[in-house]
Amino acid sequence: MKRPTTKRTLSAASIGNFGELYDFAVFGFSVPFIAAHFFPRSDPNAAILNTFAIYAVAFFARPVGGLMFGYLLDRVGRVKVLAITIWLMAGGTAMIGMLPTYESIGIAAPALLVACRFVQGLAVGGETTGSTSFVLESAPEKRRGFWVGIVYFFGNIPNAFVAFMLIGLQLLTGKAAYIDWAWRVPFLMGGLIGIVGYWVRRNLEDPEEYKQAAKKDPSATPLRVLTRSGLKSILCVSMIMSLQSVASYYLLGFTYTFLVKQAGLESKMALLSNAIAIAAYAVTIPIGGALSDRFGRKTVLTGGALWIALIAWLSIRLASNGTLLDAILGQALIAIGIGFYGSATFVASAEFFPTSFRATGHAIAYQATVAILGGTSPLVCAWLVRALQSPLAPGWYVTAVAAATVILVRFIPETKDVDLRTSIGDITPDSPSQFCPQPAASRSTGDAR
């Protein structure tokens, strides 16, 4: 069965994903300003740690949203659920821009902030799983890595876009006005971007792969994820997502605050440096995806993990020098490695599951790993700096996780040519021949559809 694919489908999914992840990015870059408004100013370090803790709340909501929306994605379709998630994210983000501060309502201010972050987490839990499944099932057979890479390019480029936007706002309003009130503007804009994202997605249809799988086996249930093969696939995703979660949120959620608070770099220069690094990360993802289509997911995963292991300490050492050039160089070096590693991670994590319970399985494994290791990555890094009295401590943390991942990748199966309706749970890492796509006539006898 040849699945029809169109550039319109890819473009619509990617642009919608941009709007969704823009909202999530704004909070990460606003940590210093949120800390000043939502916690007592008597202890700035404690305020930063508390804000990072609230940053992590959304990540712990992601598995809840992933499980809830993942089940719905498999039962009622990809497109209907993606319309819901983008509205949730837009509403949660716009509300943050309207919240009263600690000086106005005391402890209720951070409590309301936690509620908004929880809503954001629910939405992203469904969005990342939904958009990945949607595009994977729409992509040409031999270009799945590249297509998923394009979506994650648009999912990560908002981080660079937000950084440049904040630089412009700070220059336009002045530092004092930005700290006082203008920091709210990017959050309010998130609501408008949500409307645009919904408008772009409104005419999408579910992928033919999804519709045909549901037609062949209408009684299939997403709860099949709890079978032996489904649980094995969940374990595989957790093994490869651990490094991606730690390293990417070290870059996206920690380094900007590190440059300002530890390296002493001026706020706008830190934003510029982080934006350039994140742009390098985003651009690398579709390139790595195309390479994984040609050479295999495991080859790219191994190369990316080695790169991160070798460069993580040097990266933070350069960034700690407190100069713009060193900050750009240090962050860009590790960003490229994270991009290559992530390109194969994003597509393989969805390929591990068959179409009938892809979203449910992906949501459980992907979102839980990101919540536990990604959501806490900035907090752990900040704690290590404080506990060990060394600004370089986070570099060793990322290095250790990367080194362990080089070994773990050896034990996962190759998914480059896997039939999307066949579970890989019972296939060993050393039997790539079993991954050849089945002929169209025999696909109805797959392990799980």
Report pLDDT digits (tens) over 197-238. Answer: 778 777 778 888 888 877 776 656 666 677 777 888 899 999
Class of residue 382 by CB neighbours under 10 A (exposed 0-12, middle 13-18, buried 19+): buried
Cα separation of the two ends of the chain: 14
Q: Quick check: 449 pLDDT over 60? A: no
Q: Could you read off the pLDDT of 51-90 as tens digits, one per residue?
A: 878 877 887 888 899 889 998 998 888 888 888 888 888 8
Task: Report DSSP state, residue 422.
Answer: S
CA 66-69-71 angle, to 5 degrees, is 100
- Band of the pLDDT at 4, cuts 50, 70, 90? very low
pLDDT recorded at residue 218: 62
Question: Which of 152-161, 191-200, 293-302 is least confident?
Answer: 191-200
CA–CA dist 50, 28 (Å, integer): 13
Helix (H, G, I), strand (E, B) or coil at 143: coil
SS3 sequence, 52-93? HHHHHHHHHHHHHHHHHHHHHHHHHCHHHHHHHHHHHHHHHH
Task: Report DSSP state, residue 218.
Answer: T
Structural domain includes residue 241:
yes
Question: Which of 176-190, 230-244, 278-292, 369-383 is least confident?
Answer: 369-383
Question: Are the CB atoms for 325 and 419 separated by under 8 Å?
Answer: no
Structural domain includes residue 444:
no
The count of domains in the chain is: 1
User: How does 393-410 read in b/e, with b if 16+ C-beta sit within 10 Å?
Assistant: bbbebbbebbbebbebbe
Question: Which of 36-40, 134-138, 202-206, 246-250 is least confident?
Answer: 202-206
Question: Are the CB atoms for 117 and 61 separated by under 8 Å?
Answer: yes
Q: Could you read off the pLDDT of 322-357 as tens digits, one per residue?
A: 899 999 999 999 999 999 999 999 999 999 998 888
pLDDT recorded at residue 287: 97
pLDDT recorded at residue 16: 67
Range of the domain at 164: 7-205+221-428
Q: Where are the alpha helices (DSSP H) in 250-354?
A: 255-261, 267-295, 297-319, 324-351
Tokens linked to 284 = 């690398």
Angle of helix 185-201 relative to helix 144-173, nearest 10 degrees, comes to: 150
Structural domain includes residue 435:
no
Residue 157: partners with Cβ closer than 8 Å, 6 or more residues away: 18, 278, 279, 282
Question: Which of 141-145, 247-251, 410-414, 440-444 is least confident?
Answer: 440-444
Tokens linked to 209 = 């792969």
CA–CA dist 245, 250 (Å, integer): 8
- Band of the pLDDT at 22, cuts 50, 70, 90? confident
Region 248-266 average pLDDT: 85
CATH code of the domain covering residue 410: 1.20.1250.20
Question: Are the CB atoms for 33 and 177 separated by under 8 Å?
Answer: no
Question: Are the CB atoms for 95 and 116 separated by under 8 Å?
Answer: yes
Helix (H, G, I), strand (E, B) or coil at 264: coil
pLDDT recorded at residue 288: 97
Compute φ and ψ for 418, nearest 5 degrees: -65, 140
- Band of the pLDDT at 6, cuts 50, 70, 90? low
Q: Could you read off the pLDDT of 400-444 as tens digits, one per residue?
A: 999 999 999 999 999 998 888 765 654 544 444 344 333 333 333
CA–CA dist 83, 199 (Å, integer): 9
Region 375-381 average pLDDT: 83
Region 250-277 average pLDDT: 85
Task: Report DSSP state, residue 414.
Answer: P
Q: Could you read off the pLDDT of 87-123 as tens digits, one per residue?
A: 888 888 889 999 998 888 988 989 999 999 999 888 8
Residue 263: partners with Cβ closer than 8 Å, 6 or more residues away: 270, 319, 320, 321, 322, 327, 391
pLDDT recorded at residue 433: 38
Mean pLDDT of the chain: 84
Structural domain includes residue 442:
no
pLDDT recorded at residue 223: 67
Region 245-262 average pLDDT: 86
